[in-house]
Amino acid sequence: ELTEEGLVLRYRVQETDDGLSGEEGTFTICSFWLVSALVEIGEIHRARHLCERLLSFASPLHLYAEEIEPSTGRHLGNFPQAFTH
């Protein structure tokens, strides 16, 4: 499973040699894709809950970073991340 606290990871760091040390946050665009997928399969309540959670992580300028730390909502990586917008 590629989720952490309901948000989506790109991959499991411990299972992939990406050449980088440490952990990474959840990948914001993948989490928004999950919202779309949930709507497509009729999981409207789950989609709405996740979408509202993601929207709550927006910066004061309503922008998103490449990654989000799911436990704190802290933005990680490139900011702003064009993919997400």
Position 79, amino acid: F
Q: How far is CA 17 from CA 13, 25, 75, in A?
A: 7, 16, 23
pLDDT tier for residue 85 given thresholds of 50, 70 and 90 = low
Q: Which candidate, 8, 30, 70, 68, places its Cα nearest to that of 79?
A: 68
- Domain with 54 in it: 3-84
Tokens of 82: 């064009």
pLDDT digits (tens, 9 = 90+) for 21-53: 556 788 899 999 999 999 999 999 999 999 999
Q: Is the pLDDT of residue 19 over 60?
A: no
Q: Work out the percent of the chain whose per-residue pLDDT is above 90.
A: 55
What local confidence, expressed as pLDDT, does residue 20 receive? Answer: 58
Residue 3 and residue 9 in contact, taking contact as beta carbons nearer than 8 Å: yes
Domain count, the chain: 1
Residue 84 and residue 29 in contact, taking contact as beta carbons nearer than 8 Å: yes
